[in-house]
Structure 1
Amino acid sequence: MSRTVAVIGAGIVGVSTAIWLQRAGHEVVLIDRKGPAEGASHGNAGVLASCSVVPVPGPGLWTKAPRMLLDPDQPLFMKWGYFPRVLPWLLKYMRHANAEAVRTRARAAAPIIGDSLADHQALSAGTGAERWVVPGDYVFAYRDRAAYEADAFGYSVRREHGFVCEELEGAALRAYEPALGEQVGLAARFGNHGRITDPGAYVKALAAHAVANGARLVIAEVDDLVRGNGAVTGVRAGGETIPCDAAVLTTGAYSGPLAKKLGLTVPLETERGYHLELWEPSAMPRNPIMIAAGKFVATPMEGRLRLAGIVELGGLEAPPSRAPFALLERSIRAAMPGLTWKHRVEWMGHRPAVADSLPLIGEVPGLKGAFAGFGHDHVGLTGGPKTGRILSQLISGQSPNIDLAPYAPSRFQ
């Protein structure tokens, strides 16, 4: 049965949901406060990071984090005035910094992100956005073998889910990636990954395809959902009530206030992420490279090299800090000595970080027709298409071939 569905949020998760809903025969209203791909879906690293089943909090973070916060060459920053506000979330988040929690998260994340390249190819087929989806490798670069072996636990967890890397050293490393300097002594190469060569343009093209196929695009802030007899009957946005039979919340780091109005108390924070784009660089890596020491990815994109990563805790309102941009530039100069470029572009945005590093995907308890699809941490682009397909199936009354319990919106209630 065809339904009218309001999709709140036009990033990769929302746009993916809209397209899969249309393919299932539903009418879609796509609502965003700024328009498609104006947030993290524009500024991300562009990697389809299927092997990224290992979350940020892991064994040893309790002892590493304080030192990282005090070292300007480490990729962790804090707006100290925000610390009292972030502390309750931070304590919940750090409870997951252990081996058992990492394995639990990996088991839950793998079905969402583990086949991302194929998921994006299926999503973009026939939309005109296919041209930005490029198969390739995902490479982790280390100073030396000792630095690589310090990450042994993470690689063991990846192997448990079928992600096995090839180690490259010496002449093999130089032949594979001549853009890297001598400071990089070892690389771990994962095949069967991919990248999006212009994430913002890609998501905008997907949204344009949805609109061309009948979706209504509304640029407005959503204030609340309209309810009747325990079910969603509409959405209030921009002073207008938009009738609908179901609504999906896919607003990433900005989902907290509306989720609360739906009765969900979610331990959600923003991990402020940064990118630095180097246009017309003198050298370009062949595939995305995670510079492990700096926890950022250097991704070849159309006309530029994008450096994206860093974690800063500082909320949604504060302006960008200067230190993360400086660290990105220092780090790429160390990894690729002699690199030059014509001009640079800076960006800061917001990743939605739930305390257990897993998204909320599913129907909101107590309100029929209300669905959640947010909280994808560092893998929103990677997991967006699969999440959208799952949400479309749920709204269509189908049972996805996946255990949805780890993503249950009710799990924090």
Structure 2
Amino acid sequence: MSGLPVVVVGAGPQGLAAAAHLTERGIASVVVERGSSAGAAVAEWGHVRLFSAWPELMDAAARRLLEASGWAAPDRGYPTGAEWVRDYLAPLADALGERVRYGTTVTGIARRGRDKVVDGGRRSQPFVVHTQDRHGRDGRILARAVIDASGTWNQPNPAGADGFPAVGEAAASGRISYRIPDDVSSCAGRHVAVVGAGHSATHAVLRLSELARRDPSMRITWLLRRGSTTNLFGGGERDELAERAVLGSRARKVIEAGVVEVVTGFRVAEFRREGAGLVIVSEAGREIAGVDRVVALTGFRPDLGILRELRIDVDPSLDAVAGIAAEIDPNIHSCGSVSATGARQLRHPEDGFFIVGAKSYGRAPTFLALTGFEQVRSVVAHLAGDHEGAQRTELVLPDTGVCGGASAFDSPQGGCCAPALIPLGSRPVTAG
């Protein structure tokens, strides 16, 4: 199989970085991307400003490849998604040239002539990456190894708290968005409910609150599944990513100013039409009435369907790579940051196959680009036979400053140890 390329699925930040490392080591690669350009998923949230600075958003091998062509790296500031694509991802894809194939959707990955059941001769057979182009034509690419960097962007979680769409969620889909809003002008004078507690939900609340400050007739309700606001605002001054800390402090201010109403312990069970609006019903029977729009930002999940004929090892709770699950599980990991992960932690029973990037985290939150760059550096070193390089850790991730895991899901006091921040107010705000 030495004459076959390594196939990389996805031309996002980690996929392109993987191709840069492979190129630097003289290993042939093919990057397949379902979109029409590099960073297609990032472009869809191009209006959002990242809380990582430019130096934390560029892979080392990618920089070396680009700088050889005269490209100058942005050295300061916090780009938007669109700027990240324009000033880094698109030039990187151009530098990789014909290695990147656009408009190519991966429909499945397997071993040649072997389904998941067959043991005999499995390791001696190349991978087969099944594809479909934009015209619906099927194809196959043989590969010596596969790096799945396809991300989770196309698989948003539903608003329903049990992991399935809530009753009436599909019927109300015209009023529900699963993306951070860009132009919020149509929300003027409306009642908007935001579901979720992560950074995306915080971004959405802040964007909507800018309009609400100018329009007193607008109402924003922030629905949290947790019983507490303790960790809603992040780690404050303990967060080693300054802009991530600012995000939380801004959210605290708009809530304390009364621009946003926070409802805790609210797990969505049903969307019901009532007059011109929606009623959102919780599992406990509480109701939020008169809702015009819903922004559901409850995280993402990986598409594991394309891997069904491979022998992979994923965590049953997170759908994350099993080797890193205990480190990133929000039920048990709570205090501070997580360790960098490499080829050893990302390995599967299917030798030569790796999941990297946001998809490696499954449903776990708080994936950083830095994590993905270290993953692909280690994985490519492993594929190149540089086992010392694969084992070496070249990254220390910034601390979140947050303490408190999902084990305290129902507790108004928060997490496993002393709260990182004093909860908003003397007790959680709840719906009547």
TM-score, normalised by the number of residues in structure 2: 0.41
Larger CA Rg, structure 1 vs 2: 2
Q: TM-score normalised to the size of structure 1?
A: 0.43
Bigger fraction of residues in helix: 1
Structure having the larger proportion of residues in strand: 1
